A and B are shown apart, each in its own frame.
Chain A
Amino acid sequence: MAKLLRMKKIAYTGLGRNKLRTFLMMIGVVIGITALTLIISAGIGAQDRVMDRVKKFGLESMMVFAGGGREMGQPVSGGPVTTLTLRDAETIKREVRAVDEVAPFNRKGNSEIKYLGKSTTAAVFGITPSWAYVWDWDVRSGDFISEDDMDNLNRVCLIGPTVRKELFGNENPIGQQIRIGNVQFEIKGVMQPKGTSPGGGDMDNRVNIPLTTFMRRVANVDYIFGIKILLNSSGEMQQTAENISAILRERHTIAAGIPDDFRIVTPDEVTQFAEKVAGTFNIFFSLVAGIALIAGGVVVANIMLISVNERRREIGLRKAMGARSKDIKLQFLFEATAVTLAGGIIGIVLGGIGAQILKMITGMPVSISWEGIALGVVSSSLVGIIAGMQPASRAAKLQPVESLRS
């Protein structure tokens, strides 16, 4: 401890007091660490988003969507795909051992929902009683859709909290009649809030109705949009996906060599997609950070060399007073590191501000993290240590008599 205090004292008596130089030494590190902080903030933001997404999606589940060959995130090209059916979902549940439960569904975006004089737009989902279990998403009040509702094509619905707020305010909606398009439905329950979807949509602005009712009375179709499948264990993910694929190909009579007319999405794919988006951004800023830190290090090394040269007398004096070579070395390393660390801290602050601005402009998720701050502190210190190494050794090697003569 006493040693540390003494070190501080040495550094204090020696710290470069040339403001312009200190500024020049800092600038590269400031830019580098600013970029680095941006990457980390945005990277962590993206990672949070992926985790959020995976969490909402469920680690032990997968999705089957109607229509093949489309990449995640890209819109379906062409008209609706009509090959995936309720029977497919039932078969998957019956025949694949690793499947715990299935939740087939269909959906329709932006439908007009009316209650008395008021109206709002919401997505309409056709769901089954298994939905609550598979999505871990039940009603907050009232009752969920029942098998009886499915069998009888009942015109009942569950509304999301947003729809409830829009149409009912503080009024109790349960038992009230609303209109979806021209069909009248009785409200059976209000869904638990779920927040925004990974894609940014409001998952609470929905009206859920029995899937059978959806198919017969609302959309008048035989097919479904997708199936969420809950597994017994996540270990057999890939094998299960292959089994399901085989069953669907057989049921859809797809010959070998012909592409699938469905698409199976596992949590891995969700993660990969999000990483791909974050990747481009990261590469650019990593380059900026890397180049700036290297350039900053070169500047620091050169200015330190100039400084060592100019301070030969001081070094000679310190040695005459009893400083050992390693004291001198440590002093210059300390000076270089103090400057780059200060630059690093400024960079962390600027990067944090930049991340907030980025968030405001692009809506990109960012989060300031301890990891980011720690990495900024460590890498700026490292730049100082590495860049200061050669000048510090040169200073340490100076002979007292010659240095004092200069």
Chain B
Amino acid sequence: MNNTLINAKNLSKIYGKENSAQVVAVNEVSMEIRRGEFVAIMGASGSGKSTLMNILGCLDKPTRGALFLDGSEVSKMDDEQLAKIRNQKIGFVFQSFNLLARTSALENVELPLIYSDKQDITKLAKEALQAVGLSDRLDHHPSELSGGQQQRVAVARALVNDPEIIFADEPTGNLDTRSSLEIIALFAELYKMGRTIVLVTHEPDIAAHTRRIIKIADGKIIADEENRLHGTWQK
């Protein structure tokens, strides 16, 4: 079985029209991510981490280059096909949680499923919330949950459609140290259960929990190495 999940070839993202001031947010990036990896993308603010992650996650389209996910070329797909890919194969976790206000944790987690063909969406959502340890908070609204708990709801929402890969853009950026550790521990646990996770962060403490660290600067990969603390990243 082919173990390569993501294969990026010379991806570039250029903002701004030709002849005007252009920003090359992602510059000729090529990389592979295999199933079951736990990857951190690190870099200074403005280095292009989010842009890269959004392209890898099929949220955004590259200006140039090709992207393969699970063997199919997503860089050639139209919006509707991309929506389906996001719905079935990808889970997102954002820095600012992005939960729907005045909506219960359970309903927030059900959100990706209402756009899928899946049955028993409430049951699946409950299981996902159980996986993040929030079985006792199903009916709570985001405003009734701590930051750490809100982010765990968001992780449950990213998990609920059983995706091939989870992308998290600075998931601990809005959290205090303790909650940050809880969240990163949660990701580590999911990794151990076989999930593929790509995590954007600029905090070394957080990146330290992953198995592979890709460093980018000015839209280019400047380093891509195994996290020594944790031994081999190719399980």
Q: Is the CB of B102 within 8 A of A17?
A: yes
**Interface members, chain A 3-47 (any B CB < 8 Å):** 6, 9-10, 12-14, 17
Name the residue in A9, A14, A313, A317 with the highest tally of chain B Cβ atoms < 10 Å from its Cβ: A317
User: In whole angstroms, what is the CA distance A267 to B83 when docked?
Assistant: 66
Q: List 14 A-B contacts (CB under 8 A).
A: A9-B114, A10-B114, A13-B107, A13-B110, A17-B102, A314-B100, A321-B86, A321-B87, A321-B92, A322-B84, A322-B116, A324-B80, A324-B83, A324-B115
Is the CB of A306 closer than 8 A to any CB of chain B?
no
B116 nearest CB neighbor, chain A only: A322
Q: Is the CB of B100 within 8 A of A323?
A: no
Q: Which residues from chain B contact A317 at a C-beta distance below 8 Å?
A: 98, 100, 111
Name the residue in B79, B110, B114 with the highest tally of chain A Cβ atoms < 10 Å from its Cβ: B114
Q: Is the CB of B102 within 8 A of A325?
A: no
Size category of the B interface is 20 to 34
Q: Which 8 residue pairs of A and B lie closest in terms of their CB atoms, listed nearest first?
A: A322-B87, A321-B112, A322-B115, A324-B83, A401-B60, A322-B86, A317-B98, A323-B115
**Interface members, chain A 296-340 (any B CB < 8 Å):** 313-314, 317-325, 327
User: In whole angstroms, what is the CA distance A321 to B154 when docked?
Assistant: 11
Contacts A314-B100, A317-B98, A318-B111 given: A401-B54 contact, CB under 8 Å?
Answer: yes
Is the CB of B208 closer than 8 A to any CB of chain A?
no
Excluding A14-B100, A399-B60, 20 further A-B contacts by CB distance (< 8 Å) are A2-B119, A9-B110, A9-B114, A13-B103, A13-B110, A317-B98, A319-B83, A320-B86, A321-B86, A321-B111, A321-B112, A321-B115, A321-B157, A322-B87, A323-B83, A323-B87, A324-B80, A401-B54, A404-B59, A404-B98
A-side residues, CB < 8 A to B, are 2, 6, 9-10, 12-14, 17, 313-314, 317-325, 327, 399-401, 404
Q: Which residues from chain B contact A9 at a C-beta distance below 8 Å?
A: 110, 114, 121
Type the 1/0 row for B73-116, where 1 means its CB is closer than 8 Å to any CB of A. 00000011001101110001010001010110001001110111
B-side residues, CB < 8 A to A, are 54, 57, 59-60, 79-80, 83-84, 86-88, 92, 94, 98, 100, 102-103, 107, 110-112, 114-116, 119, 121, 157, 161
B119 nearest CB neighbor, chain A only: A2
Q: Which residues from chain B contact A319 at a C-beta distance below 8 Å?
A: 59, 83, 86
Question: Nearest Cβ in chain A — how far from B92, in angstroms?
Answer: 5
Contacts A10-B114, A325-B79 given: A404-B86 contact, CB under 8 Å?
Answer: no
Q: Is the CB of A13 within 8 A of B86?
A: no
The binding surface of chain A is classed by DSSP as: helix
Q: Which residues from chain B contact A400 at a C-beta distance below 8 Å?
A: 59-60
User: In whole angstroms, what is the CA distance A404 to B57 when docked?
Assistant: 14
Total of A-B residue pairs, C-beta within 8 Å: 67
A319 nearest CB neighbor, chain B only: B83
User: In whole angstroms, what is the CA distance A325 to B88 when docked?
Assistant: 16
Q: Is the CB of A322 within 8 A of B83?
A: yes
Question: Nearest Cβ in chain A — how far from B150, in angstroms?
Answer: 13
Q: Which residues from chain A contact B110 at a C-beta distance below 8 Å?
A: 9, 13
Q: Which residues from chain B contact A322 at a C-beta distance below 8 Å?
A: 83-84, 86-88, 112, 115-116, 161
Q: Which residues from chain B contact A314 at a C-beta distance below 8 Å?
A: 100
Q: Is the CB of A313 within 8 A of B79?
A: no
User: In whole angstroms, what is the CA distance A370 to B94 when docked?
Assistant: 52
Q: Is the CB of A320 within 8 A of B59?
A: yes
Q: Which residues from chain A contact B116 at a C-beta distance below 8 Å?
A: 322
Question: Nearest Cβ in chain B — how far from A309, in angstroms?
Answer: 16
Partner of A13, one of B54, B98, B111: B111
Q: Is the CB of A13 within 8 A of B100?
A: yes
User: In whole angstroms, what is the CA distance A261 to B17 when docked?
Assistant: 89
Q: Which residues from chain A contact B94 at a C-beta distance below 8 Å?
A: 404
A325 nearest CB neighbor, chain B only: B79
Question: Nearest Cβ in chain B — how far from A148, in angstroms?
Answer: 88
Q: Is the CB of A324 within 8 A of B98?
A: no
Q: Which residues from chain A contact B88 at a C-beta distance below 8 Å?
A: 322
B99 nearest CB neighbor, chain A only: A317
Question: Nearest Cβ in chain A — how far from B142, in angstroms?
Answer: 12
B102 nearest CB neighbor, chain A only: A17
Question: Nearest Cβ in chain B — how far from A331, in angstroms?
Answer: 10
User: In whole angstroms, what is the CA distance A14 to B119 when docked?
Assistant: 21
Question: Nearest Cβ in chain A — how far from B54, in angstroms?
Answer: 5
User: In whole angstroms, what is the CA distance A313 to B110 when docked?
Assistant: 18
Question: Nearest Cβ in chain A — how far from B14, in angstroms?
Answer: 14
Question: Nearest Cβ in chain B — how far from A160, in angstroms?
Answer: 69
Question: Nearest Cβ in chain B — how far from A308, in angstroms?
Answer: 15
User: In whole angstroms, what is the CA distance A94 to B178 when docked?
Assistant: 111
Question: Nearest Cβ in chain A — how far from B62, in angstroms?
Answer: 12
Q: Which residues from chain A contact B161 at a C-beta distance below 8 Å?
A: 322
User: In whole angstroms, what is the CA distance A318 to B86 when docked?
Assistant: 10
Q: Which residues from chain A contact B79 at a C-beta distance below 8 Å?
A: 324-325
